[in-house]
Amino acid sequence: MGKGISEVLTYAVGVAISPVPIIAVTLMLFSQRARENGLMFLLGWVVALAVVSGVAYAAADQANAATDSTTTDTIAWGKIVFGVLLLLLAARNWRTRPRPGTEPEMPKWMGGIDALKPVKALGLGLLLAGVNPKNLMLAAAAGAGLATLGLSTANAIGSLIVFVIVASLTIAGPVVYYLLGGDSAKAKLDEMKNWLALHNNAVMAVLFLVFGAKLIADGLPPLT
């Protein structure tokens, strides 16, 4: 299973470093339904990542990605396309980053997080993990790439579980810290939220650049 974990680990880290979802779950932990909403958001996040990576793996495995050259080439081109898209997103985030001394603008939907009900918190977790472009592309790339290794079903499932766990650490961390840390946890979480809000665009630009380059680099060898 070591090969499978090596394949998905970098993608999992890329998903985990997602400032906006971390800010969103932290804001939920300051709402009236903090405990319920935090846990439901985490559940939605985990389910979405499991579904996207699992479906990508199943589709690629069904197409014999480990042995069929056409499928392998298709996955390679898919990684390259995803990589180019991430590079474009990197450029966009860098251009739109707040200038020094400027207060960053947060997405308008964050203003309603305090009033979210648990079901909507679950839905938000699903969207930010499974529909967010970066996370969608990285989760799909992890699942498809895993299928090219020709692992046993048990090892592939184990690798996908590791992917979901690692990719969820930065969402689970604030929730667990809030539940166990008491009043002191709120101050630390608020500091983290403010820092992420201030540097969100710059952090995302670097992430898009790094993982865009990685996807392109992973996609090129099978085609040469």
Query: What is the per-residue pLDDT across 137-191, written as a single tens digit (0 to 9) for each?
Result: 999 999 999 999 989 999 999 999 999 999 999 999 999 998 887 777 877 887 8
Q: How many structural domains comprise the chain?
A: 1
pLDDT at residue 58 tops 70: yes
Global pTM?
0.84
pLDDT at 101: 63
- Do 31 and 114 contact (CB within 8 A), yes or no? yes
pLDDT at residue 200 above 80?
no
Query: pLDDT-based confidence at 29, cuts 50/70/90?
Result: confident
* Segment 47-74 mean pLDDT: 90
Q: Return the closest-CA partner of residue 111 out of 177, 199, 23, 34.
A: 23
Domain with 43, as residue range(s), is: 2-223
Dist. CA 42–CA 19, nearest whole Å: 15
d(CA 208, CA 197): 17
62-99 pLDDT, tens digit per residue, is: 988 878 788 888 888 988 998 899 899 888 878 877 77
Is residue 103 predicted with pLDDT exceeding 70?
no
For residue 104, what pLDDT is reported?
64
DSSP string, 86-134: HHHHHHHHHHTSPPTTPPPPPPGGGGGGGG--HHHHHHHHHHHHHTSHH
Separation of alpha carbons 204 and 99, rounded Å: 15
